[in-house]
């Protein structure tokens, strides 16, 4: 097995030796290490290899910066082409298909079982189980339509349009640092990093079981596949960011906060803006309906009163990213970009 590690900060042959020694000393399973400061890489091989997180800790301890690590033995195909997954998990689709089959069996099974019961009972049971079956069928249909709309390999590519449209508002100075809250598969982080090659973008996510196919390793592989080296991915919590006040030159997020139950959405926005530097830009895209977010016009007024500049609410469900009809069909009515400057 072989892994290629991308490392920043190496300047000479002594740096190469430092990194190579650190890897050999930390991981006995690594049989070969080849380091190049010119390429900014270290290639390791062995029967078994350390995880990316283990490599990160060792590399960072040397004083150099770990960017990513890609398993070249099993990951070439994925590394050659980014895989941003889909906002509709396949598990959801399979789950509703299974529910449809079960509800159909329930419908016919109960009618057969109750064949000698009263007609009223059979009618009530038939209506209830029939409605359950119909609801499951409609959810399968919705999932398939949404999956095709969001797919990066489909015709519509709505996810790609939204990600790149949001990234357009992220502008960083030279050597600046940006933050993507809830990076998922790394799409928005990478898009922002591409737009700001002179800066660096960090993506954080908790990568929970709801989106089990998303992971830190996937983000790093996508970054390598896109030829982007100015990204970094970490585990993090949007409700309590593990960064000091005014850390970043830009903060972005896409369709994250509406998924976080039990928290005031404006408070989540405040937590994100807390880590933004004075003069930094922000672009946060979410379903900002009044029922979820409260009075966002009032929120904008409060930000302006505090000295924020160019704060705007840009509806994206009326032709900016999607039509009102499409937004309604995809359950994205209320989609809005909150952009501005601190």
CATH number at residue 225: 3.40.50.150
Which of 255, 238, 338 has the alpha carbon at shortest distance from 297?
A: 338
CATH number of 60's domain: 3.30.70.100
Assess whether 300 and 253 both reside in one domain: yes
* pLDDT confidence band for 79 (50 / 70 / 90): very low
Assess whether 9 and 112 both reside in one domain: no
Residue 108 phi/psi, 5-degree rounding, is -75, -40
Q: Encoding tokens for residue 191?
A: 């898009």
Which of 196, 181, 148 has the alpha carbon at shortest distance from 259?
A: 181
Assess whether 199 and 248 both reside in one domain: yes
Over 90: is that where the pLDDT of 153 sits?
no
For residue 251, is it within any domain?
A: yes
Share of residues in the chain with pLDDT > 90 (%): 74
Over 80: is that where the pLDDT of 215 sits?
yes
Contact by Cβ (8 Å): 32, 46: yes
pLDDT for the residue numbered 80: 60
Last residue of a domain, one of 111, 132, 150: 150
pLDDT for the residue numbered 128: 94
Assess whether 53 and 127 both reside in one domain: no
Assess whether 317 and 334 both reside in one domain: yes
Over 60: is that where the pLDDT of 182 sits?
yes
Query: What's the pLDDT tens digit per position in 90-101?
Result: 889 999 999 999
Q: How far apart are CA 184 and CA 196, in angstroms?
A: 20
Assess whether 48 and 146 both reside in one domain: no
pTM of this structure: 0.74
Contact by Cβ (8 Å): 202, 236: no
Alpha helix segments (H runs only) across the chain: 13-26, 52-61, 72-80, 90-113, 119-150, 158-167, 187-195, 216-225, 265-274, 290-293, 296-305, 324-329
Degrees to nearest 5, angle at CA 152 with 325 and 281: 80
- Per the structure, the count of domains in the chain is 3
For residue 15, is it within any domain?
A: yes
Provide the angle, in degrees to the nearest 10, between the axes of the packed helices 265-274 and 296-305: 30
Query: What's the pLDDT tens digit per position in 6-25?
Result: 888 898 888 898 999 999 99
Query: What's the pLDDT tens digit per position in 299-317?
Result: 999 999 999 999 999 999 9
Assess whether 133 and 98 both reside in one domain: yes
Q: How far apart are CA 200 and CA 174, in angstroms?
A: 9
Q: How far apart are CA 302 and CA 290, in angstroms?
A: 16
Last residue of a domain, one of 37, 53, 80: 80
Query: What's the pLDDT tens digit per position in 243-255?
Result: 999 999 999 999 9
Assess whether 53 and 97 both reside in one domain: no
Q: Encoding tokens for residue 92?
A: 């959801």
Span 86-110, average pLDDT:
92
- Domain extent, residue 109, equals 90-150
Assess whether 145 and 170 both reside in one domain: no
Over 60: is that where the pLDDT of 76 sits?
no
Biggest CA pair distance of the chain? 88
Assess whether 333 and 213 both reside in one domain: yes
Contact by Cβ (8 Å): 257, 245: no
Assess whether 248 and 176 both reside in one domain: yes
Residue 182 phi/psi, 5-degree rounding, is 80, 60
Over 50: is that where the pLDDT of 74 sits?
no
- Lowest average pLDDT, out of 18-27, 85-94, 168-177, 204-213, goes to 204-213
pLDDT for the residue numbered 297: 97
For residue 134, is it within any domain?
A: yes
| Total number of residues shown for the chain | 342
For residue 192, is it within any domain?
A: yes
Which of 81, 272, 256, 233 has the alpha carbon at shortest distance from 162?
A: 256
Paired sense of beta strands 335-341 and 309-315, if any: antiparallel
Please list, in sequence order, all residues whose beta carbon lies within 8 angstroms of the beta carbon of residue 271, skipping any fewer than 6 positions away.
238, 239, 240, 241
Which of 31, 28, 38 has the alpha carbon at shortest distance from 3?
A: 31
Span 98-121, average pLDDT:
92
Q: Is residue 6 left, alpha or beta, with left meaning phi > 0 and alpha meaning psi from -120 to 50?
A: beta
Q: How far apart are CA 64 and CA 218, in angstroms?
A: 22
For residue 85, is it within any domain?
A: no
State whether residue 118 is helix, strand or coil. coil
Which of 222, 191, 193, 188 has the alpha carbon at shortest distance from 205?
A: 188
For residue 213, is it within any domain?
A: yes
For residue 209, is it within any domain?
A: yes
Q: Is residue 116 left, alpha or beta, with left meaning phi > 0 and alpha meaning psi from -120 to 50?
A: alpha
Assess whether 20 and 129 both reside in one domain: no
Please list, in sequence order, all residues whose beta carbon lies within 8 angstroms of the beta carbon of residue 63, skipping any fewer than 6 positions away.
9
């Amino acid at each position: 097995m072989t892994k290629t590690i991308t490392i920043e900060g190496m300047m000479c042959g002594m740096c190469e030796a430092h990194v190579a020694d650190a890897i050999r000393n930390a991981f006995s399973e690594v049989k070969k290490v080849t380091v190049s400061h010119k390429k900014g890489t270290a290639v390791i091989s062995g029967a078994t290899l350390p995880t990316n997180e283990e490599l990160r800790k060792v590399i960072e301890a040397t004083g150099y910066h770990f960017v990513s690590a890609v398993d070249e033995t099993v990951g070439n195909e994925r590394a050659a082409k980014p895989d941003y997954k889909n906002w509709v998990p396949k598990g959801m689709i399979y789950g509703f298909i299974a529910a449809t089959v079960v509800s159909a069996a329930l419908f016919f099974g109960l009618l057969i079982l109750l064949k000698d019961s009263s007609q009223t009972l059979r009618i009530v049971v038939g209506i209830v189980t029939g409605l359950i079956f119909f609801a499951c069928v409609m959810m399968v249909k919705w999932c398939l339509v949404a999956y095709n709309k969001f797919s990066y390999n489909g015709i519509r590519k709505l996810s790609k349009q939204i990600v790149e449209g949001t990234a357009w508002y992220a502008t960083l100075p030279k050597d600046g640092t940006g933050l993507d809250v809830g990076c998922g598969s790394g799409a928005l982080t990478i898009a922002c990093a591409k737009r700001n090659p002179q800066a660096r973008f960090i993506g954080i996510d908790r990568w929970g079981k709801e989106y089990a196919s998303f992971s830190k390793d996937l983000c790093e592989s996508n970054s390598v596949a896109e030829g982007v080296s100015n990204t970094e991915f970490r585990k993090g919590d949007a409700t309590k960011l593990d960064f000091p006040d005014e850390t970043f030159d830009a903060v972005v997020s896409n369709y994250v906060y509406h998924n976080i139950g039990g928290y005031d959405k404006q408070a989540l926005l405040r937590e994100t803006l807390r880590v933004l530097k004075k003069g930094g830009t922000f672009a946060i895209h979410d379903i900002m309906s009044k029922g979820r977010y409260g009075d966002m016009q009032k929120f904008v007024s409060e930000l302006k009163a505090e000295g924020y500049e160019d704060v705007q609410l840009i509806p994206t469900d009326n032709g900016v990213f999607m039509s009102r009809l499409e937004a309604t069909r995809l359950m994205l009515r209320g989609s809005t970009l909150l952009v501005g400057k601190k």
